[in-house]
Structure 1
Amino acid sequence: MPQGKIEVLLVCAKGLDNTDFLCNMDPYVILTCRTQEQKSSVASGKGTEPEWNETFVFNVSDGVSDLTLKIMDSDTGSADDFVGEATIPLEPVFLEGSVPPMIYNVVKDQQYCGEIKIGLTFTAEERGEGGYGGQEYGTQDYSGETYGGWRESS
């Protein structure tokens, strides 16, 4: 299973359902990867076509299979409104290393309510092989003799 870091480039959203009837929405995104949660800035007054161009980094380990993006509308004086969400499978980025910015459907109550554009990059955690200089400790050296990992000098 992959271990490392996922970098998420949150680009923009389009065609979102407007939750504010009298003025433009102030959308933001809550990004969730398993137990890690991060929040974008609020795109004040950007309405149904916000742009963020922000980058977020998550640590990933065994069992992480998707990223959830929940779009919210920031409201002053009342609870923020839920606009919609997108669930992005991470398997393609684990296999390819990166996925260029792509559009994903945003849904609310199983209904399409806009789209969000994100890019993904996965950087695998380097797993050490042990030993020094590529040679494992306690294995045969080039002269064919082993001395607890140290070669006898001539």
Structure 2
Amino acid sequence: MPNGTLEVVVAGGRRLKDQDTFGKNDAYVEVYLDKKYKQRTTTVSNTNDPVWNERFTFNVHDGDDTIHFDVYDDDVGDKDSIGKCKVKLKHVFDDGKYDEWVKLPAMLGLSSHGEIHIIMRFTLILDDEKYFSLNGDISCNRNYYTTDRLTAPPEVKFKTKMKFEPKLLVWMAVSQKGISSIYVHRSTISIKQETYLHDCIRKRLLPFINRHHKNDNILFWPDLASSHYSKQVQQFLQANQIKLVQRQENPPNVFQARPIETIWSLLEQKVYEGA
């Protein structure tokens, strides 16, 4: 599961089973990924259809795959369990959001102790750049193949190569809601922090967030290029309240967790098709 910030709203409950002999429930909900760190709603008194509309945030780490909701009747000096439920985070990660009434199953799951309304959002924005060679030289084809090295022609064995090859830089950011405007630049070196900040972050990432994620609780996940973590870039992101995956928590070479890598792979196949 990806690391990030999960936003959880406990909206309300309905038809909660009475735990009191007289009167109705004084209900509240405990929410947690790990039992060592629980958050809870306020208590809504004397109703089996409480409305909370309370918001919580959780930092999701590797290994976190389920979020738990325990509903209690708040009594003086004690609490009675109304019911418990849990939601697999995969439902949130796949769609970026979750909005459901979830049943509180009774013993053996044969009946229900009511339902609670849960809303969750997890928005991840990734960015990356890809360099495409302009001389037709594909990185995976820089070796030569022969059955006899002694008879291989010298122009094959000792092909010269420029120290700084001309390249085309392509940058983009992606999320569940689409792709940012794309930055294309001809270069012979890696992207500089000034270029990254001005042409990628200011002119493209920020408008993309404002257009598609203005009210979302987002987490920005760049790759590990040094320009992406420059002091200027981090200060700009912080000033614009864009949460950033910290460098020490950013794992290298996790292609399966970064869908943008699949985009590059497919694009590279098209660019070098027939080369």
Smaller-chain TM-score range? 0.7 to 0.9
- For the residue of structure 2 that corresponds to 1:80, the secondary structure is strand
Q: Distance in 2 between matches of 1:30 and 1:105?
A: 15
Distance 1:30 1:107 in 2: 16
Give 3-state SS (helix, strand or coil) of 1:72's partner. Answer: strand
The structure richer in helix per residue is 2
Higher relative contact order by CA 8 Å / sep ≥ 6: 1 or 2? 1
> What corresponds to 2:106 in structure 1?
108
TM-score of the two chains, using structure 1 as the length reference: 0.78
Contact 1:43-1:52 at 8 Å conserved across structures: yes
Tell me which amino acid in the other structure corresponds to 1:95: D
Q: Which 4+ stretches in 1 moved above 6 angstroms? A: none
Q: Does 1:36 align with 2:20?
A: no
What is residue 68 of structure 1 aligned with on the other side?
68
1:76-123 residue CA offsets vs partner (Å, 9 max, x unmatched): 1x4210100111111011111112x21111123234211111111013
Unaligned runs of 5+ in 1: 135-154
Contact 1:24/1:48 (CA < 8 Å) preserved in 2? Answer: yes
Question: In structure 1, what is the equivalent of residue 57 of structure 2?
Answer: 57
Q: Is the 8 A contact 1:74 1:81 kept in 2?
A: yes
Secondary structure (helix, strand or coil) at the match of 1:129 reads: coil
Q: Tell me which residue corresponds to 2:117.
A: 117
State the alpha-carbon separation in 2 of the partners of residues 109 and 130 from structure 1.
Answer: 52
Of the candidates 131, 141, 145, which is equivalent to residue 226 of structure 2? 131
Paired with 1:28 and 1:133, the residues of 2 have a C-alpha distance of 43
Q: How far apart, in 2, do the equivalents of 1:95 and 1:36 lie?
A: 25
8 Å Cα contact 2:32/2:69 also seen in 1: yes
Kindly indicate whether the alpha-carbon contact (under 8 Å) linking 2:222 and 2:228 is maintained by their aligned counterparts in 1: no
TM-score scaled to structure 2, two decimals? 0.45
Percent of aligned positions that are identical: 27
3-state SS in 1 of match to 2:105: strand
C-alpha displacement of 1:75: 0.5
Structure 2 unaligned regions, length at least 5: 125-218, 230-275
SS in 2 for 1:92: helix
Greater percentage in strand: 1
SS in 2 for 1:132: helix
Does the CA-based 8 Å contact 1:36-1:58 persist in structure 2?
no
Aligned to 1:9: 9
- Structure 1 counterpart of 2:87, which letter? I
CA contact (8 A) 1:83 1:108 kept: no
Contact 1:27 1:42 in 2 (8 A): yes
Q: Secondary structure at the match of 1:24?
A: coil
1:90 has 2:89 as partner: yes
Question: Number of residue pairs matched?
Answer: 131
Q: Distance in 1 between matches of 2:97 and 2:225?
A: 28
Q: Tell me the SS of whatever aligns to 2:75.
A: coil
